[in-house]
Every structure is written in C-alpha cells, then in structure tokens.
Amino acid sequence: MQIKSFRLKTIFSLVLSVVLISIVSFYFYNKALEKRIYETTLKNSEKYLQLLQQQMLFTIGENGGKIIYPILQRMEQNEDILLVALFDGDGKLVYPRKTIQTDSYTLDFTDTTFDNKGIGFSKISRDDYQAIRSVIRVDNAPICQECHETTQKTLGYLVMDFSLRGLKNNLALTKMFSTTFTVMLIVSIALTIGLLHYRYVKRSLKKFVTTMQRVEQGELGERVEIPETEELGKLARSFNHMLERLQTIQEELTRYHRKELLEAQRLASIGEMAASLAHELKNPITGIANAIEVVTDDIYDAEKKAILNEIHRQVDRVNRTLNDLLTYSRPIKLSPKSSNINELIETIIYSLKNHLSGKDIHISATLDKDIPDFLFDPEQMERALSNIGLNAIQAIDSYGEIEFQTQYDRVQELVSIKIIDSGKGIEESYRHQIFKPFFTTKHQGTGLGLTITADIISRHGGEIHVENRPEGGCIFTITLPVKCYKGIPDEKIESSYH
C-alpha cells in the first residue's frame, strides 16, 4: 500500500529508523551485558572455589568426610547452586551417595581445562538446564602426603553447577526495558511529529489551500498569512508576491481590454459608416466610369483622350477600393465543393501573367501531383492566392521570380501551399502587422487585401504565415486541412496567421 500523506511518510520513516537503531543498539548492549555478567560470575565463583579448595585440602579425608560433607550439604541448600558432587582421584562418586542423573550433562573431566590453581569452568546451556560448571581438582600436595600415598597424583574432584538463572533474569529484564523504552520512544516521536506537523505544516497548508481556492474564484486581493517556520514563510512570501503580480497584471489587462473594447466599438462604428458610405459612392462612381468610356470613344484628340484614360484608371482604382471595403465589412460566406488545388493554382498563374505591367517576372509552379481533391471554396481561394500573387508582383521592381509550391502531408492530412518571390521582402518590424486591417506600406491600396486573404484561409480551417528569405524576397506559407472540413461559423472565426 502506497502512503500518500507527507505526515504519515515522515512518521513512518522516523519510527522505522528508531526501531532499527534501537534493535541494533539493544542487541549489542544485551550481548555486552551478558558477557559482563558472565565474566563477573566466573570471577566471583573462582574466588569462592579457591576458599573451598583450601578447606578441602585439610578436610577431604578426615573422619571419613564428616567435616567436608556437612559443608557440601549446606552448599546444596543454596538456590544458586544446582549441583554439588565429590569424586575421588579415580573419578568414583563419593558424595552424594545417591545416584546422580547424568543424562543432561556429563561428569567426565578428561577434557576439562584447568588453570594453574586447579580450577576449570565450562558452560551448560539447555532449555531445562542453564549453569556454569566448575570443577576443582584437589592435587596431592606435600602437606597431603602424610595421609595419602605419594604415588597418587590427584586426590579428587569437586563439581559444582552455579545457576545462570540470575543472569537470564537480568537479561530478560533488560530486554523488557529495551522493548518498553523503544515503544515509548516511538509513541512519543510519533506524537511529537504529528503535533509539530499539525502546528507548523498542516494548519499553514490548509490556509494556503483556502487562499488558493479564493484566488481561483477571482479574489486576487487575498493574501496568505506568513507562517512561523522559515521554509513555509518563504513559500508564503513568494506566493503573496505572485498574487500581487497577478493582481497588477489583471488590473493592467482590465484597463487594456476596456481600452480595446472602446477602440473596437469606435472602429465598428467607423466600419459601418464606411461601408454605408462605400455603398452610396459605388453607384455614382460606376456611372462616372461608364460615362468616361462613352466620352472617350467620341474624342479623337490624343492629348484629351490620354487624360480621360487616366481619369478612367483612377475611377477603377477607387471602385476596387470600395469593393474591398464592402467585402471586408461583410462576413465572407463560403461555398465549398470538392476541387483540385493544383488546377486552381495553374489558373491563377495564367491570370497573374496578365498583370505584370511590363515587368520581366518569371512565374512557375512545383506542384505535388499526389494531392487529392478536397473541400474548399474555389472562388474565395482564388481570391486569397491572387492577392498574394499580386503583392509579389508589386514587390518586384523590374525582373524577378515567383514560384508556387504545393506539398501533401499524408500523416497529418494537410496541404501546404508556398508562394515564394524574389522581391524586396518585408521589414521585420512590419512582418507581424501585414495581416491587420488597413495596414499597408504602398502608396496605393487600402491595406485590406492580405486581411481578406487571412480571413478566407482561417474560414477554411487553415493557417497562414510569412517569413523573409535570406537571399531576398519572402515566403507565404498556407496550410489547409484535407478532411473533416465543416466550415467555421462567423462568431467563432479566429484568424490564425502571423
């Protein structure tokens, strides 16, 4: 099971660390304590046995053991002594007279290692019998040879088993204390961490969450109370600083949007007035153009006829400007049908060659023959691509090149159209403004051609962008979706061009 709470993770990690450290520490402590108690027991037993050994030298053979036996009997009454047995030099049991059960331990002394004082120790460890066995070897000293034969090297052995019950009880008590101490330490650590976490972390984070929820609802004036802890205090100060910045930005955006709204309303009013004015002027201008054509046919004076032709040309320019203004003021309605984009481009190239105005411009096409027919409005698409082509012709002074390229992306199902020219290019400061209404760098024109072009591309669900070529000129790139075209409603149109 994965622990997700930070507090539980912290408590669990510390408790685990404390448990491991306590187990290891108390393990080695118990081992050291057991060794210390065992060594102390051996040392005390050795002193006790030395006194008993000296007593035995003088009493082991006197009066048939009437002196030594009472001593041994009193020793048997001590609860810390589990066994007292006396053997002669040949290993024959002398005391006690009754048979000793030897299935739990051996009374063989052949492997016992004695020190220079004739005392040897060994440890007996069984489930039902825990003891330190001490064996006193009574040697035939010169003082003993008055009663014993000199050929007898060892007079006897005294075997005593000292109980390790006290040692085990002490160790059990130590273990119980260790366990109790560890549990109390774990509980106190868990409680302390829990209280500290609630006091300095959880309560502060709860305030953070409450403030964030209010900020999410738009109350940017809210601020987080600075906690006492240094880390959370830094976080709170940073968060409050961020809120101040957001509040400042929101106020600036509100002012900007209010200004933009007023500007949009003003432009909308101007647009409606301009559209109405263009509509009112279009009919008289058309009449003037027709009248000039009639008058021109009846005049044979070359000088006057040139003047009338110039007037007619300027009237046509005014008429085209009025048409652009009327087109921009009314939403473009698409009539899509399955068409071939390559065939449309070839038609546009043929038309553009009639607008070169004496310039030496080579117009070519590199077309991807694998592009399938797809839905688009041929009339509006021709208008959009022709606008770009005419701008390219105007950007070339005397001679140059214009190339149309098409490419089909089968994976994304997109058609890419590139229009490349070798003209002057676009100043970098103007590049992001050329699609805005009424923006133009030319002495003639309304600045609506590229705006209408971008609008047509966007209504087809496509994108358009422009970039300068390192060698001069610029590249207009248009991407159009091949499938799933359903048109874009006027109220949702968002021109994606840059």
Residue 104's Cα: distance from chain center in Å? 67
Half-sphere exposure at residue 119, Cβ-oriented, CA atoms within 13 angstroms: 18
Give the pLDDT confidence of 426-440 residue by residue, as tens digits: 888 777 778 777 666
Distances (CA, A) of 379 to 342, 385, 457, 462, 473: 14, 10, 12, 16, 27
pLDDT at 489 (0 to 100): 42
pLDDT at 277 (0 to 100): 65
Whole-number Å distance between alpha carbons of 374 and 385:
17
Whether the per-residue pLDDT at 2 is higher than 60: the answer is no
For 146-155, 174-183, 270-279, 354-363, which range has the lowest pLDDT when averaged over its residues?
270-279
- Mean residue pLDDT across the chain: 76
Secondary structure class of 357 (helix, strand, coil): coil
What topology is assigned to 6-99+106-171 in CATH? Beta-Lactamase (3.30.450)
Q: Are 34 and 171 in contact (CB under 8 A)?
A: yes
CA dihedral (264, 268, 269, 273) in degrees, to 10, reads: 150
Residue (of 245, 247, 209) closest to 225 by Cα position = 209
Q: What percent of the chain has pLDDT over 90?
A: 16
Helices in 147-229 by DSSP H: which ranges?
165-197, 203-216
Choose between 349 and 234: higher pLDDT. 349
Q: Which two tokens stand for residue 447?
A: 């600045």
Whole-number Å distance between alpha carbons of 308 and 186:
106
Confidence of residue 491 (pLDDT cuts 50, 70, 90): very low
What are the sequence ranges of the domains in the chain?
A: 6-99+106-171, 333-492
DSSP state of 337: E
Q: What percent of the chain has pLDDT over 70?
A: 72
Q: Are 457 and 463 in contact (CB under 8 A)?
A: yes
For 317-321, 391-395, 420-424, which range has the lowest pLDDT when averaged over its residues?
317-321
Give the mean pLDDT of 152-172.
77
Whole-number Å distance between alpha carbons of 414 and 480:
6
Give the pLDDT confidence of 467-481 residue by residue, as tens digits: 998 888 999 999 999
Give the pLDDT confidence of 403-424 residue by residue, as tens digits: 999 999 999 999 999 999 998 8
* 158: enclosing H helix or E strand: strand 154-163
Q: Does domain 333-492 have CATH number 3.30.565.10?
A: yes
